[in-house]
Amino acid sequence: MTKIQNAVIGSVRTVIGWVPAGWLPGGSPDPLIERRAAIGRQASRLDGPLKVTGEARFAAEVAVDNLSYAALVHSPITRGRIMRLDTDAADAAPGVILVVTHRNMPRLGTLALIGMSDMSAIGNSDLPILQDAQVHYNGQVVAAVIAETQEQADHAVSLIMIDYTAEPAKTLFEEAKATARTPASVLIEKNHVTVGNAERELSRSAHIVDNVYRTPPHNHNAIELHTVTAMWEGDGLLVHDTTQMVAPSATALAKLFGLKREQVRVLSPFVGGGFGGKGMWDHQIVAVAVARMVGRPVRLTLSREGVYRIIGGRTPSEQRVAIGADAAGRFTALIHSGYSVMPPYGACPEQYTLGSRAIYDAKSFEFLQRHVDLDIVPNTFMRAPGEAIGTFAVESAVDEMAHAMGVDPIDMRMANIAERHPVSGAPFSQHALKQAFTDGAERFGWNRRVAEPGSRREGEWRIGIGCAAGSFPYARMPGANVRITLHGDGSATIACSAQEMGMGTATVQVQHAADRLGLPLEAIRFELGDSDLPASPMAGGSSQTASVAGAIIAAAEKLTGEMLRLAGNASPVAGLRAGEVRLTDGGIASIADPSRHDSFESILARAARDDMTVTAAGSMPLEMFKFAMHSTSAVFCELRVSDVTGEVRVDRLLGSFDCGTILNPKTAASQFRGGMIMGLGLALTEETLFDGRSGRIMNASLADYHIPTHLDVPQIDVMWTDIPDPRSPLGARGIGEIGITGVGAAVANAVFNATGKRVRDLPITLDKLLPD
Amino acid sequence: MNPISYSRAASVADALHMAGGQGARLLGGGTNLVDLMRKGVDTPSQLVDVTALPDGIDRAEDGGLIIGAAARNSAVAAHPLVRSGYPMLARAILAAASAQVRNMATVGGNVMQRTRCLYFNDVAGARCNKRVPGSGCDAIGGFNRYHAILGGSDACIATHPSDMCVALAALDGQVHIAGPAGERTVPLVAFHRLPGERPDIETVLDPTEIVVAITLPPSPFAARSAYRKVRDRASYAFALVSVAVGLTMREDRVDAISVAFGGIAPKPWRAARIEDALRGASLSPSAIEKAFEAEFADATLLPGNGFKRGLAKRTLSAMLTELGGPAQ
């Protein structure tokens, strides 16, 4: 992000700040907040039966005639050049159709890096792909084989002989810190933010904690491997992908391959787990290019190792958090700064200081992120990028301050949780973090905690309890479009390109549309995952539900107007204006006199219409700029630490969330739990073993990269305030990423309570808890 | 993957006839070999399926146990004779892998499994003396959390990953080997070699031979024995340290004792010095400490695995103290 962007965002905020709240979207709360039927009800996922019976076709399962299969060669060196390339044996291997290297790959430009100003800029990397002999990172794609079967392609790949000359590479975080860059912005926020003189306030504070926290790199491990099937039909391109960005992918591919947008169709009806990793990477581009070269459909599925090699993960970080407090425990200074990796050809800034700006008041603040350049596969967004690791540092530090002052950690937080946004001063749209703490503490039995570390014991096990707060910003993305078709039988079809990654996108929007249009659930169909449908933004930043909901609101308003017009003078609702009616009971009714009702069926029948179709875009998400909008959480953990071995066993985990209206308790609980399980991995087990000598990831498999197993995951309790946000569609804020946020610190704080050991270096493995 | 032939041996004689050629490998459950083939670590040209060979679990003439090499790990763990007479073995097996893997894996294959060293498994990107003799070892100076502190060499510090073999070592297991020259028996503790200069040679088995059975003598330890595995997550991870202990007490003193470690050495590590030091002794903390030091005095500690020495000591001490208490 540039300084210019800082200025633009800053002035938008200033102008929006002057505008009365009522003028903005969400100015008068969404009427469905008060008038919901399907929304907020427990509903099973509509795609559940399809997945259980195997009917759902994922991208690697789509039946395609004349299909060929691709496999990739990854560079085993980190920086250097390809000097000798011998593909003769591979060319001659059984079933091989084509071997592709930089010598014969068509010349292509590079993707525009992910940016906040252009929603179709989705590149995780802007390095050239198979365009020259240069190697930029270990694992980079250097060749591909296309063959009649996957096995033939895999075999031929092993026959390609490549000699490299290695060049010096930057692979050591500690060394590269010396030349770290300081970006002007982090996403759409200014990077270096100061309020008062935080260092001076800190040095004068009655109580000070000032420590460095470290988090390791992580890799994406969605169950479904990255896979793409690409085929050219005439001048048109059809891509079956597994992606969190259906419409933006089509736009980006069109630009890269010199096509019109309407010549490209990306289909991705189901995604087997996204978490930020299912974006645009090299494999899609290779598949599209080689499909044109061989004149046949090509399927390219990464191996699990391949996912580690060319799909980025979460950057490592080193974060300083310093908190000063006065004698009463009020924060006088909060400093959060640090280093994370972002190579110059990457796009993810890992915004670990953004969450820290939104929870606590302090007399002074300083926030600053620095980017370290390494020669690695570019890191990317991974569930709560920034917040997941940022809260580990800050919420550990708050716990350290509470311990140092002899104050209960919840009391310490209650005394400092802000009533307005601590940095911008903007009012919160709705914010009940204190209630989340109070409710959570009661359900969890926080009063059983013994403040003195190491006090509770059962046999060889020391028992501890900890908590942490989390905050994740609300987002509604611009550019969400939806088409609604009302059919003659009174049913409706909602269509947009949105992504179904297993969290219940279609289910929740069907619930929404049922209430919005006044129809029963069974009368709504939702079509998604197709770039030919009205474009909706990527699924990211926990924003998809609000973004699509905003578009449905706009489309439903338009539909109301169209249907009123169509109803004509003979209708019971004749003469009423759009603002005087609502959609209910399968038709239009007067708000003032609900007995004046005309059904969709009869309106369409009288007009001799089969259906009525409208398309609309959601309003600009100006509420984000007028109000401070954040999902928040209070996370509680009880665990045991073996005095003998240092092993940690988590016994209980509770998440108490304040995320506005919970649209579907069943799918929401799954999202929260899934995020919290990922948080357990972050806290205790997950670490990419990046060998700084070679620049190579050494544990590129699910056997060696430890995600939590079933036995590592205890009963997880989730609860929520369910207080609607008056500024958002349906009163809802995002829930996809708040679940992981805060878990790392809650676990670390419980470990401290159990043992008296403060671990500031994730993951908390048993060796860190053994006596020296 | 390179072309391979596959044949299924109907008998030991059959297997001996088929095996032994260059590039031939015996295939049990395939839970390790097939992975190695997929990764290109091993590139056999001939697979001889030995799962039809004897898989019985029976009482031996001496009152001990005989387990056919083709017996599945899960069958051994569930067998009444194992559960009653050798509970340590059942626990060790159940601490390993997943239920699915245990259902496939054979006893013979378990004994023969290869290390899970990250550098051994990375054909494209790492040097490994075990995989390519003389090429160097990237684990020394790299990630060696799972590597040996005892018995390693400058050429190799990889560990043997088995849990089952640690219990077999503590239980005086014998490996029955058939070969062209007839049968022979080797104690399990002498079956695996230390790496020295040749980490690629992992056992005393000749390429022309096959493992046909494991026998266990009658065990005095059924009442007081334990297997404890310490690892980086609650399930489905290899041992950082595992300890098998069997004990009999006479009054307050150790009568018979058997101790073996996993996760710390290139082979299942029978701790004879600990046993010698504690036999006849009372299980005081100082006696345990002294015995431990005798065994681990020449441990080689690296930055990634140095914690294992203390971890092994603490784990052993806790187990001995618990087992040495009043009989359960």
What is the CATH code for A185-218+314-475+625-768? 3.30.365.10
CB contact under 8 A, A767 and B142: no
Which is it for strands A611-617 and A597-599: parallel, antiparallel or unpaired?
A: unpaired
Instruction: Using the predicted structure, report yes or no on whether residue A268 has a pLDDT greater than 90.
Output: yes
pLDDT of residue A720: 98
Tokens for A199, please give them: 């260092």
Mean pLDDT over A31-57 rounds to 93
* Half-sphere CA count of B202, side-chain side, radius 13 A: 19
| Alpha helices (H) along A544-597 | 544-567
Q: Which of the four pLDDT bands, split at 50, 70 and 90, describes residue A630?
A: very high
**Domain regions of chain A by residue span:** 68-168+223-273+278-310, 185-218+314-475+625-768, 477-620
Instruction: Using the predicted structure, report yes or no on whether residue B1 has a pLDDT greater than 60.
Output: no
* A771 touching B (Cβ < 8 Å): yes
Q: Which of A710, A712, A767 sits opposite B307 (nearest CB)?
A: A767
**Minimal-distance CA residue of chain B relative to A701:** B118
pLDDT in tens, B59-112: 999 999 999 999 999 999 999 999 999 999 999 999 999 999 999 999 999 999
Q: Is A196 exposed, middle or buried (CB count within 10 Å of its CB: 0-12, 13-18, 19+)?
A: middle
Instruction: Using the predicted structure, report yes or no on whether residue B266 has a pLDDT greater than 90.
Output: yes
CA distance to partner chain B, nearest, from residue A769 (Å): 10
Chain B residues touching A706 at Cβ < 8 A = 232-233, 237
- Phi and psi at B79, nearest 5°, equal -70, 135
Dist CA A411 CA A392 (whole Å): 19
CB contact under 8 A, B1 and A684: no
Q: Is A710 exposed, middle or buried (CB count within 10 Å of its CB: 0-12, 13-18, 19+)?
A: exposed
Chain B residues touching A694 at Cβ < 8 A = 125-126, 138
Q: Which of A645, A711, A765 sits opposite B314 (nearest CB)?
A: A645
Instruction: Using the predicted structure, report yes or no on whether residue A1 has a pLDDT greater than 50.
Output: no
- Of residues B215 and B21, more confidently modeled: B215
Strands (E), A345-460: 364-372, 456-458
Dist CA A124 CA A378 (whole Å): 7
Which is it for strands A364-372 and A134-135: parallel, antiparallel or unpaired?
A: unpaired
| Alpha helices (H) along A257-362 | 282-294, 304-310
Is B38:B44 a contact under the CB 8 Å cutoff?
no
Question: Any idea which fold A477-620 has?
Answer: Aldehyde Oxidoreductase; domain 4 (3.30.365)
If you count them, how many residues does chain A have?
772
CB contact under 8 A, A770 and B307: yes
pLDDT of residue A119: 77
CB contact under 8 A, B233 and A766: no
Strands (E), B142-279: 174-179, 182-187, 210-216, 225-230, 241-250, 253-262, 269-270
Q: Is A107 exposed, middle or buried (CB count within 10 Å of its CB: 0-12, 13-18, 19+)?
A: exposed
Is the complex ipTM more than 0.95?
yes
**Minimal-distance CA residue of chain A relative to B142:** A691
Residue type, B50: V
SS3 of residue A166 by DSSP: strand
Q: Where in chain B is the domain with CATH 3.30.43.10?
A: 5-51
pLDDT averaged over every residue in chain A: 96
pLDDT of residue A12: 67
Dist CA A572 CA A596 (whole Å): 5
Chains A and B form CB pairs within 8 A to the count of: 77
Instruction: Using the predicted structure, report yes or no on whether residue B3 has a pLDDT greater than 90.
Output: no
CB contact under 8 A, A685 and B138: no
Instruction: Using the predicted structure, report yes or no on whether residue A139 has a pLDDT greater than 90.
Output: yes
Instruction: Using the predicted structure, report yes or no on whether residue B9 has a pLDDT greater than 90.
Output: yes
pLDDT in tens, A56-66: 999 999 999 99
Tokens for A116, please give them: 């906040």
CA-wise closest residue to A70 among A286, A368, A328: A286
Spell out the residues 6+ positions from residue B327 whose beta carbon is closer than 8 angstroms to its own.
B223, B224, B249
pLDDT of residue B328: 46
Q: Which of the four pLDDT bands, split at 50, 70 and 90, describes residue B22?
A: confident
Q: What is the CA radius of gyration of chain B?
A: 19
Chain A residues touching B233 at Cβ < 8 A = 684-685, 706, 708-709, 711-712
Residue holding tokens 């003195």? Answer: A452
pLDDT of residue A5: 60
pLDDT of residue A204: 98
pLDDT in tens, A437-472: 999 999 999 999 999 999 999 999 999 999 999 999
SS3 of residue A323 by DSSP: strand
Tokens for A219, please give them: 């890799």
Burial state string for A258-280 with b = 16 or more CB within 10 A and e = fewer than 16: eeeeebbbbbbbbbbbbbbbbbb
Which is it for strands B174-179 and B210-216: parallel, antiparallel or unpaired?
A: antiparallel
| Alpha helices (H) along A345-432 | 387-405, 409-414
Q: What percent of chain A has pLDDT over 70?
A: 97
CB contact under 8 A, B232 and A693: no
Is A72:A283 a contact under the CB 8 Å cutoff?
yes
What is the CATH code for A68-168+223-273+278-310? 3.90.1170.50
Q: Which of A158, A693, A766 sits opposite B142 (nearest CB)?
A: A693
Dist CA B140 CA B158 (whole Å): 10
pLDDT of residue A117: 74
pLDDT of residue A27: 75
Q: Provide the β-strand partners of residue B327.
A: none
Which is it for strands A161-166 and A185-186: parallel, antiparallel or unpaired?
A: unpaired
Is A266:A244 a contact under the CB 8 Å cutoff?
no
Is B278:B254 a contact under the CB 8 Å cutoff?
yes
* A434 touching B (Cβ < 8 Å): no
* Half-sphere CA count of B11, side-chain side, radius 13 A: 2
Residue type, B11: S
Dist CA A12 CA A55 (whole Å): 48
Distance between alpha carbon A349 and the CA centroid of its chain, in Å?
14
* A260 touching B (Cβ < 8 Å): no
CB contact under 8 A, B311 and A646: yes
Residue holding tokens 């930089």? Answer: A102
CB contact under 8 A, A709 and B233: yes
Farthest CA pair distance, chain A? 87
CB contact under 8 A, B2 and A703: no
Residue type, B13: A
CB contact under 8 A, B235 and A712: yes
Tokens for A523, please give them: 């009368």
Q: Where in chain B is the domain with CATH 3.30.390.50?
A: 225-324
Distance between alpha carbon B301 and the CA centroid of its chain, in Å?
21
CA distance to partner chain B, nearest, from residue A698 (Å): 6
Q: Which of the four pLDDT bands, split at 50, 70 and 90, describes residue B325?
A: confident
Q: With left for phi above 0 and alpha for psi between -120 and 50, is residue A34 left, alpha or beta?
A: alpha
Dist CA A650 CA A627 (whole Å): 37
pLDDT of residue B326: 74
Dist CA A270 CA A498 (whole Å): 10
* Half-sphere CA count of B37, side-chain side, radius 13 A: 19
Instruction: Using the predicted structure, report yes or no on whether residue A7 has a pLDDT greater than 80.
Output: no
Residue type, B29: G
CA-wise closest residue to A496 among A539, A455, A439: A539
What is the CATH code for B5-51? 3.30.43.10
pLDDT in tens, A149-200: 999 999 999 999 999 999 999 999 999 999 999 999 999 899 999 999 999 9
CA distance to partner chain B, nearest, from residue A703 (Å): 7
Question: Selecting from 3.30.390.50, 1.10.10.60, 1.10.645.10, 3.30.1340.30, what CATH number does the domain B225-324 have?
Answer: 3.30.390.50
* A459 touching B (Cβ < 8 Å): no
Q: Which of the four pLDDT bands, split at 50, 70 and 90, describes residue A20?
A: low
Residues of B with CB under 8 A from a CB of A: 1-2, 40, 116, 118-119, 122, 124-126, 138, 141-143, 230, 232-237, 240, 307, 310-311, 314-315, 317-318
SS3 of residue A367 by DSSP: strand
SS3 of residue A345 by DSSP: coil
Dist CA A172 CA B134 (whole Å): 28
CB contact under 8 A, B240 and A766: yes
> Of B101, B113, B122, which to mutate for an interface test with A (greatest number of A Cβ within 10 Å)?
B122
Dist CA A120 CA A123 (whole Å): 9
Dist CA A747 CA A215 (whole Å): 14
Mean pLDDT over A501-521 rounds to 96
Dist CA A159 CA A85 (whole Å): 11
For the annotated catalytic residues of A, the residue numbers are 737
Residue type, A759: V
**Minimal-distance CA residue of chain A relative to B229:** A645
pLDDT of residue B20: 78
CA-wise closest residue to A93 among A145, A142, A141: A145
Q: Which of B118, B124, B311 sits opposite A704 (nearest CB)?
A: B118
Is B88:B244 a contact under the CB 8 Å cutoff?
yes
Instruction: Using the predicted structure, report yes or no on whether residue A116 has a pLDDT greater than 90.
Output: no
pLDDT in tens, A641-675: 999 999 999 999 999 999 999 999 999 999 999 99
Is B229:B239 a contact under the CB 8 Å cutoff?
yes
CA-wise closest residue to A221 among A59, A52, A383, A48: A383
Residue holding tokens 């904690």? Answer: A209
Whether omega for the bond prior to residue A31 falls within 30 degrees of 0, making it cis, is: no
Tokens for A187, please give them: 């996403």
